[in-house]
Protein backbone atom coordinates (compact mmCIF):
# COMPACT_ATOMS: atom_id res chain seq x y z
CA UNK A 1 0.00 0.00 0.00
CA UNK A 2 1.47 3.34 -1.06
CA UNK A 3 1.80 6.25 1.35
CA UNK A 4 2.09 9.92 0.39
CA UNK A 5 3.32 13.10 2.04
CA UNK A 6 0.52 15.29 0.71
CA UNK A 7 1.43 18.54 2.46
CA UNK A 8 4.63 19.72 4.14
CA UNK A 9 5.44 22.42 6.69
CA UNK A 10 8.80 23.49 8.09
CA UNK A 11 10.01 26.04 10.63
CA UNK A 12 13.69 26.44 11.51
CA UNK A 13 16.60 28.88 11.65
CA UNK A 14 16.01 29.18 7.87
CA UNK A 15 12.62 30.77 8.65
CA UNK A 16 9.08 29.62 7.96
CA UNK A 17 8.93 30.25 4.22
CA UNK A 18 9.32 27.51 1.63
CA UNK A 19 10.95 29.98 -0.76
CA UNK A 20 13.45 31.25 1.83
CA UNK A 21 14.40 27.71 2.82
CA UNK A 22 14.86 26.66 -0.81
CA UNK A 23 17.14 29.62 -1.49
CA UNK A 24 19.24 29.07 1.65
CA UNK A 25 19.57 25.35 0.99
CA UNK A 26 20.92 26.11 -2.48
CA UNK A 27 23.16 29.03 -1.55
CA UNK A 28 24.38 27.69 1.76
CA UNK A 29 23.78 31.01 3.50
CA UNK A 30 23.93 29.95 7.13
CA UNK A 31 21.22 31.06 9.51
CA UNK A 32 22.85 30.23 12.86
CA UNK A 33 22.85 32.80 15.68
CA UNK A 34 25.74 33.34 18.11
CA UNK A 35 24.15 33.40 21.56
CA UNK A 36 24.88 32.60 25.19
CA UNK A 37 21.18 32.37 26.08
CA UNK A 38 21.57 28.70 26.98
CA UNK A 39 25.27 28.76 27.89
CA UNK A 40 25.84 31.89 30.04
CA UNK A 41 29.23 33.46 29.38
CA UNK A 42 30.00 31.13 26.47
CA UNK A 43 28.40 32.22 23.18
CA UNK A 44 27.61 29.30 20.89
CA UNK A 45 26.23 29.13 17.34
CA UNK A 46 22.62 27.99 17.65
CA UNK A 47 19.89 27.27 15.12
CA UNK A 48 17.37 29.69 16.66
CA UNK A 49 14.08 30.44 14.95
CA UNK A 50 13.96 34.23 15.23
CA UNK A 51 10.49 34.84 13.78
CA UNK A 52 7.30 35.50 15.70
CA UNK A 53 5.39 32.47 16.96
CA UNK A 54 1.59 32.38 17.19
CA UNK A 55 -0.17 32.56 20.54
CA UNK A 56 -1.74 29.41 21.95
CA UNK A 57 -5.45 30.08 22.44
CA UNK A 58 -6.33 26.92 24.36
CA UNK A 59 -6.85 27.94 27.99
CA UNK A 60 -5.28 25.12 30.03
CA UNK A 61 -1.76 26.11 31.23
CA UNK A 62 -0.15 22.85 30.18
CA UNK A 63 -0.64 23.77 26.51
CA UNK A 64 1.38 26.99 26.82
CA UNK A 65 4.90 26.02 25.75
CA UNK A 66 7.30 27.26 23.09
CA UNK A 67 7.26 23.76 21.63
CA UNK A 68 3.51 23.97 21.05
CA UNK A 69 3.80 27.47 19.62
CA UNK A 70 6.43 26.16 17.18
CA UNK A 71 4.07 23.32 16.24
CA UNK A 72 1.26 25.82 15.72
CA UNK A 73 3.44 27.91 13.39
CA UNK A 74 4.14 24.84 11.27
CA UNK A 75 0.54 23.64 11.43
CA UNK A 76 -0.68 26.94 9.99
CA UNK A 77 1.22 26.17 6.77
CA UNK A 78 -0.82 23.01 6.10
CA UNK A 79 -4.07 24.12 7.69
CA UNK A 80 -6.03 24.04 4.42
CA UNK A 81 -4.93 20.50 3.57
CA UNK A 82 -5.77 19.31 7.09
CA UNK A 83 -9.22 20.93 6.93
CA UNK A 84 -9.87 19.18 3.62
CA UNK A 85 -8.84 15.84 5.16
CA UNK A 86 -11.16 16.39 8.12
CA UNK A 87 -14.01 17.05 5.70
CA UNK A 88 -13.30 13.90 3.71
CA UNK A 89 -12.42 11.41 6.43
CA UNK A 90 -13.91 12.74 9.68
CA UNK A 91 -12.05 13.72 12.84
CA UNK A 92 -12.01 10.19 14.26
CA UNK A 93 -10.03 8.89 11.25
CA UNK A 94 -7.14 11.34 11.55
CA UNK A 95 -4.21 10.55 13.83
CA UNK A 96 -1.32 12.61 15.19
CA UNK A 97 2.23 11.28 15.76
CA UNK A 98 4.92 13.77 16.81
CA UNK A 99 8.57 13.17 17.62
CA UNK A 100 10.37 15.31 20.20
CA UNK A 101 13.22 15.06 22.66
CA UNK A 102 12.56 18.01 24.97
CA UNK A 103 8.88 18.96 24.55
CA UNK A 104 8.22 21.89 26.94
CA UNK A 105 11.30 21.47 29.14
CA UNK A 106 12.52 24.96 28.24
CA UNK A 107 9.40 26.43 29.80
CA UNK A 108 9.82 24.26 32.89
CA UNK A 109 13.37 25.60 33.22
CA UNK A 110 12.02 29.16 33.36
CA UNK A 111 9.45 28.22 36.01
CA UNK A 112 12.03 26.37 38.12
CA UNK A 113 14.40 29.33 37.86
CA UNK A 114 11.67 31.50 39.31
CA UNK A 115 11.13 29.00 42.11
CA UNK A 116 14.86 29.05 42.91
CA UNK A 117 14.76 32.85 43.12
CA UNK A 118 11.49 33.25 45.07
CA UNK A 119 10.85 29.92 46.74
CA UNK A 120 7.50 29.63 44.97
CA UNK A 121 6.49 27.68 41.89
CA UNK A 122 4.62 30.03 39.53
CA UNK A 123 0.88 29.48 39.64
CA UNK A 124 0.74 28.88 35.88
CA UNK A 125 3.27 26.03 35.99
CA UNK A 126 1.94 22.60 35.02
CA UNK A 127 4.36 19.68 34.75
CA UNK A 128 2.34 18.23 31.85
CA UNK A 129 3.78 20.82 29.46
CA UNK A 130 7.02 18.81 29.34
CA UNK A 131 5.51 15.36 28.75
CA UNK A 132 6.88 13.71 25.62
CA UNK A 133 3.39 13.32 24.19
CA UNK A 134 2.38 16.91 24.95
CA UNK A 135 2.80 18.38 21.46
CA UNK A 136 0.97 15.51 19.76
CA UNK A 137 -1.88 15.95 22.25
CA UNK A 138 -1.82 19.72 21.70
CA UNK A 139 -2.22 19.37 17.92
CA UNK A 140 -5.11 16.95 18.39
CA UNK A 141 -6.78 19.29 20.89
CA UNK A 142 -6.20 22.33 18.67
CA UNK A 143 -7.86 20.59 15.71
CA UNK A 144 -10.40 18.59 17.74
CA UNK A 145 -9.15 15.32 16.26
CA UNK A 146 -10.25 11.95 17.66
CA UNK A 147 -7.88 9.44 16.03
CA UNK A 148 -4.79 7.85 17.64
CA UNK A 149 -2.50 10.44 19.26
CA UNK A 150 0.97 9.79 20.62
CA UNK A 151 4.52 11.05 20.86
CA UNK A 152 7.79 9.38 19.96
CA UNK A 153 11.03 10.16 21.76
CA UNK A 154 13.99 8.23 20.38
CA UNK A 155 16.45 11.13 20.48
CA UNK A 156 17.61 12.30 17.05
CA UNK A 157 15.56 9.77 15.08
CA UNK A 158 12.23 10.80 16.66
CA UNK A 159 10.83 12.91 13.80
CA UNK A 160 11.65 10.32 11.17
CA UNK A 161 10.23 7.55 13.35
CA UNK A 162 6.96 9.50 13.50
CA UNK A 163 6.67 9.29 9.71
CA UNK A 164 7.32 5.54 9.79
CA UNK A 165 4.63 5.20 12.47
CA UNK A 166 2.18 7.22 10.38
CA UNK A 167 2.69 4.82 7.49
CA UNK A 168 1.98 1.86 9.74
CA UNK A 169 -1.27 3.44 10.98
CA UNK A 170 -2.40 3.96 7.38
CA UNK A 171 -1.41 0.47 6.27
CA UNK A 172 -3.19 -1.08 9.24
CA UNK A 173 -6.38 0.76 8.31
CA UNK A 174 -6.49 2.51 11.68
CA UNK A 175 -6.35 5.98 10.10
CA UNK A 176 -7.09 7.60 6.74
CA UNK A 177 -4.75 10.52 7.42
CA UNK A 178 -2.03 11.29 9.95
CA UNK A 179 -0.37 14.56 10.93
CA UNK A 180 3.18 13.40 11.56
CA UNK A 181 6.60 14.92 12.09
CA UNK A 182 8.82 16.37 14.78
CA UNK A 183 9.04 19.50 16.92
CA UNK A 184 11.85 20.48 19.29
CA UNK A 185 12.82 23.79 20.87
CA UNK A 186 16.01 24.99 22.48
CA UNK A 187 16.62 24.71 26.21
CA UNK A 188 19.48 24.65 28.69
CA UNK A 189 19.11 20.89 29.17
CA UNK A 190 20.11 20.00 25.62
CA UNK A 191 22.75 22.69 25.11
CA UNK A 192 24.43 21.98 28.44
CA UNK A 193 23.92 18.22 28.10
CA UNK A 194 25.65 17.99 24.74
CA UNK A 195 28.32 20.36 26.02
CA UNK A 196 28.94 17.95 28.91
CA UNK A 197 29.46 15.22 26.31
CA UNK A 198 32.10 17.47 24.70
CA UNK A 199 30.09 17.26 21.47
CA UNK A 200 29.32 20.98 20.97
CA UNK A 201 31.37 23.29 18.77
CA UNK A 202 31.82 26.99 19.57
CA UNK A 203 32.17 27.66 15.85
CA UNK A 204 29.71 26.83 13.02
CA UNK A 205 29.63 23.06 12.52
CA UNK A 206 31.83 21.71 9.73
CA UNK A 207 30.55 18.24 8.76
CA UNK A 208 32.99 15.76 7.18
CA UNK A 209 35.88 18.25 7.36
CA UNK A 210 39.24 17.35 8.82
CA UNK A 211 38.65 20.42 11.01
CA UNK A 212 35.24 19.40 12.39
CA UNK A 213 34.79 20.08 16.10
CA UNK A 214 31.22 19.08 16.91
CA UNK A 215 27.57 20.02 16.62
CA UNK A 216 25.51 23.19 16.87
CA UNK A 217 22.15 22.69 18.60
CA UNK A 218 19.02 24.05 16.89
CA UNK A 219 15.25 24.12 17.09
CA UNK A 220 12.54 23.60 14.53
CA UNK A 221 9.52 21.74 13.28
CA UNK A 222 8.73 19.54 10.30
CA UNK A 223 5.12 18.42 9.82
CA UNK A 224 3.38 16.44 7.10
CA UNK A 225 -0.13 15.39 6.24
CA UNK A 226 0.29 11.71 5.39
CA UNK A 227 -2.41 9.77 3.52
CA UNK A 228 -2.94 6.94 1.03
CA UNK A 229 -4.14 9.47 -1.56
CA UNK A 230 -1.59 10.29 -4.26
CA UNK A 231 0.32 13.48 -3.55
CA UNK A 232 3.44 15.28 -4.76
CA UNK A 233 5.86 13.09 -2.79
CA UNK A 234 5.64 9.44 -1.77
CA UNK A 235 7.18 7.93 1.35
CA UNK A 236 8.56 5.11 -0.75
CA UNK A 237 10.85 3.32 1.67
CA UNK A 238 11.59 3.00 5.38
CA UNK A 239 14.51 1.16 6.92
CA UNK A 240 15.14 0.89 10.66
CA UNK A 241 17.80 -0.73 12.81
CA UNK A 242 18.85 -0.77 16.45
CA UNK A 243 22.45 -1.74 16.96
CA UNK A 244 22.70 -0.75 20.68
CA UNK A 245 26.45 -0.31 20.29
CA UNK A 246 26.78 2.38 22.97
CA UNK A 247 24.51 4.76 24.87
CA UNK A 248 25.82 7.77 22.91
CA UNK A 249 28.63 6.76 20.53
CA UNK A 250 27.85 5.21 17.12
CA UNK A 251 29.16 1.83 16.01
CA UNK A 252 32.37 2.86 14.20
CA UNK A 253 31.87 0.14 11.57
CA UNK A 254 28.57 1.72 10.50
CA UNK A 255 26.89 -1.69 10.54
CA UNK A 256 23.55 -0.41 11.90
CA UNK A 257 23.51 2.51 9.46
CA UNK A 258 24.27 0.19 6.57
CA UNK A 259 21.45 -2.14 7.59
CA UNK A 260 18.83 0.59 7.74
CA UNK A 261 19.85 2.16 4.39
CA UNK A 262 19.77 -1.26 2.74
CA UNK A 263 16.41 -2.02 4.39
CA UNK A 264 14.97 1.26 3.06
CA UNK A 265 16.17 0.41 -0.46
CA UNK A 266 14.66 -3.07 -0.19
CA UNK A 267 11.39 -1.66 1.13
CA UNK A 268 11.22 0.75 -1.82
CA UNK A 269 12.26 -1.94 -4.32
CA UNK A 270 15.24 0.13 -5.48
CA UNK A 271 18.89 -0.38 -6.27
CA UNK A 272 21.35 2.12 -4.76
CA UNK A 273 21.92 3.88 -8.09
CA UNK A 274 18.27 5.01 -8.14
CA UNK A 275 18.91 7.46 -5.29
CA UNK A 276 19.67 10.95 -6.58
CA UNK A 277 20.44 12.66 -3.25
CA UNK A 278 21.27 11.63 0.32
CA UNK A 279 20.59 13.95 3.23
CA UNK A 280 23.29 12.92 5.67
CA UNK A 281 22.81 12.85 9.42
CA UNK A 282 26.09 14.77 9.32
CA UNK A 283 26.46 16.07 12.88
CA UNK A 284 30.11 17.15 12.43
CA UNK A 285 31.24 15.10 15.42
CA UNK A 286 34.36 13.03 14.89
CA UNK A 287 32.68 9.67 15.42
CA UNK A 288 29.35 10.23 13.63
CA UNK A 289 30.93 11.56 10.44
CA UNK A 290 33.50 8.78 10.45
CA UNK A 291 30.79 6.12 10.79
CA UNK A 292 28.40 7.68 8.28
CA UNK A 293 31.04 8.24 5.60
CA UNK A 294 31.95 4.57 5.82
CA UNK A 295 28.32 3.45 5.75
CA UNK A 296 27.28 5.66 2.81
CA UNK A 297 30.41 4.66 0.91
CA UNK A 298 29.60 1.00 1.51
CA UNK A 299 25.99 1.29 0.29
CA UNK A 300 26.27 3.90 -2.46
CA UNK A 301 29.93 4.29 -3.33
CA UNK A 302 31.21 7.81 -3.83
CA UNK A 303 29.00 9.02 -6.67
CA UNK A 304 25.62 9.93 -5.15
CA UNK A 305 25.29 13.66 -4.31
CA UNK A 306 24.86 14.20 -0.60
CA UNK A 307 24.99 16.89 2.03
CA UNK A 308 24.47 17.63 5.69
CA UNK A 309 22.02 20.51 6.15
CA UNK A 310 22.75 20.97 9.86
CA UNK A 311 25.03 24.00 9.25
CA UNK A 312 21.85 25.79 8.13
CA UNK A 313 19.45 24.62 10.83
CA UNK A 314 21.58 23.37 13.69
CA UNK A 315 20.93 19.87 14.97
CA UNK A 316 17.23 20.05 15.83
CA UNK A 317 17.33 16.75 17.75
CA UNK A 318 13.82 15.24 17.98
CA UNK A 319 12.70 17.37 15.03
CA UNK A 320 15.75 16.64 12.85
CA UNK A 321 14.47 13.51 11.11
CA UNK A 322 11.22 15.23 10.11
CA UNK A 323 12.83 18.57 9.25
CA UNK A 324 15.40 16.87 7.01
CA UNK A 325 12.67 14.77 5.37
CA UNK A 326 10.96 18.11 4.70
CA UNK A 327 14.19 19.37 3.13
CA UNK A 328 14.20 16.29 0.87
CA UNK A 329 10.51 16.92 0.05
CA UNK A 330 11.41 20.48 -0.94
CA UNK A 331 14.45 19.41 -2.97
CA UNK A 332 12.40 16.85 -4.91
CA UNK A 333 9.54 19.29 -5.50
CA UNK A 334 11.74 22.22 -6.57
CA UNK A 335 14.45 20.20 -8.37
CA UNK A 336 17.65 21.19 -6.54
CA UNK A 337 20.41 19.64 -4.44
CA UNK A 338 20.91 21.19 -0.98
CA UNK A 339 24.42 22.58 -0.63
CA UNK A 340 26.91 20.99 1.73
CA UNK A 341 28.27 23.87 3.82
CA UNK A 342 31.83 23.33 5.05
CA UNK A 343 35.40 24.57 4.69
CA UNK A 344 36.12 22.16 1.78
CA UNK A 345 38.97 20.52 3.71
CA UNK A 346 38.28 16.76 3.48
CA UNK A 347 39.38 14.35 6.16
CA UNK A 348 41.84 11.93 4.53
CA UNK A 349 40.76 9.27 7.04
CA UNK A 350 37.21 9.22 5.63
CA UNK A 351 35.94 7.64 2.41
CA UNK A 352 35.35 10.39 -0.15
CA UNK A 353 31.74 11.48 -0.59
CA UNK A 354 30.21 13.51 -3.44
CA UNK A 355 29.32 16.56 -1.33
CA UNK A 356 26.79 18.77 -3.10
CA UNK A 357 27.60 22.24 -4.37
CA UNK A 358 23.92 23.23 -4.35
CA UNK A 359 22.97 22.58 -7.96
CA UNK A 360 19.69 24.10 -9.18
CA UNK A 361 17.34 22.91 -11.93
CA UNK A 362 18.10 19.21 -11.43
CA UNK A 363 15.68 17.62 -13.85
CA UNK A 364 16.17 13.94 -13.07
CA UNK A 365 15.93 14.01 -9.27
CA UNK A 366 13.31 11.37 -8.45
CA UNK A 367 14.44 9.72 -5.20
CA UNK A 368 16.08 11.13 -2.07
CA UNK A 369 17.17 9.28 1.06
CA UNK A 370 17.39 10.89 4.51
CA UNK A 371 19.41 9.41 7.38
CA UNK A 372 18.78 9.86 11.10
CA UNK A 373 21.07 8.14 13.60
CA UNK A 374 20.26 8.47 17.30
CA UNK A 375 21.74 7.66 20.70
CA UNK A 376 21.67 3.98 21.55
CA UNK A 377 22.07 3.01 17.91
CA UNK A 378 18.45 3.86 17.04
CA UNK A 379 18.72 4.35 13.28
CA UNK A 380 16.28 5.12 10.47
CA UNK A 381 16.52 5.90 6.77
CA UNK A 382 13.60 7.30 4.76
CA UNK A 383 13.30 7.26 0.97
CA UNK A 384 11.11 9.91 -0.65
CA UNK A 385 9.97 9.81 -4.29
CA UNK A 386 8.79 12.70 -6.46
CA UNK A 387 5.56 11.56 -8.11
User: Would you kindly state where each structural domain of the chain is located, as residue ranges?
Assistant: 4-386
**Residue-level pLDDT at 123:** 86
Choose the catalytic residue: 62, 64, 111, 281. Answer: 281
**Residue-level pLDDT at 247:** 75
**Residue-level pLDDT at 282:** 97
Alpha helices in 144-254 (DSSP H): 158-171, 188-196
Domain 4-386, CATH class in plain words: alpha beta
CA distance 279 to 104: 28
Cα torsion 303, 309, 315, 316: sign: negative
pTM above 0.95? yes
Cβ 312 vs Cβ 28: under 8 Å? yes
- Order of strands, sheet of 177-184, starting from the edge strand that comes earlier in the sequence: 149-152, 94-99, 177-184, 220-227, 4-11, 233-242, 378-386, 367-374, 277-279, 305-307, 354-355
Q: Looking at residue 176, what DSSP letter applies?
A: S
**Residue-level pLDDT at 31:** 77
**Residue-level pLDDT at 121:** 87
**Residue-level pLDDT at 248:** 72
Is 281 a known active-site residue?
yes
Choose the catalytic residue: 3, 156, 175, 260. Answer: 156
Ranges of residues in the chain whose predicted pLDDT is under 50: none
CA distance 211 to 181: 33
Three-state DSSP state, 282: coil
Q: Which residues contact 320 (CB under 8 A, 6 or more apart)?
A: 156, 159, 160, 182, 184, 220, 281, 310, 313, 372
Choose the catalytic residue: 64, 111, 315, 340. Answer: 315
Amino acid sequence: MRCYLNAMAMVSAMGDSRQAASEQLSSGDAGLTLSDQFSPGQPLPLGIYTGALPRVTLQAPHWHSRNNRMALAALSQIEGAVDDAVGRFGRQRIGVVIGTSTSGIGDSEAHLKQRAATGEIPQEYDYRLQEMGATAAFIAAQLNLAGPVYGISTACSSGAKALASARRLLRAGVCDAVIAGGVDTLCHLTVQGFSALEAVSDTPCNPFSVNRQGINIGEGAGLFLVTREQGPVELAGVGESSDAHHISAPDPSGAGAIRCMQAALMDAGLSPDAIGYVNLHGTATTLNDQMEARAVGEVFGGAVPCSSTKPLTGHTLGAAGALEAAICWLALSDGFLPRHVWDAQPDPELPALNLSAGQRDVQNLEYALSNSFAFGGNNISLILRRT
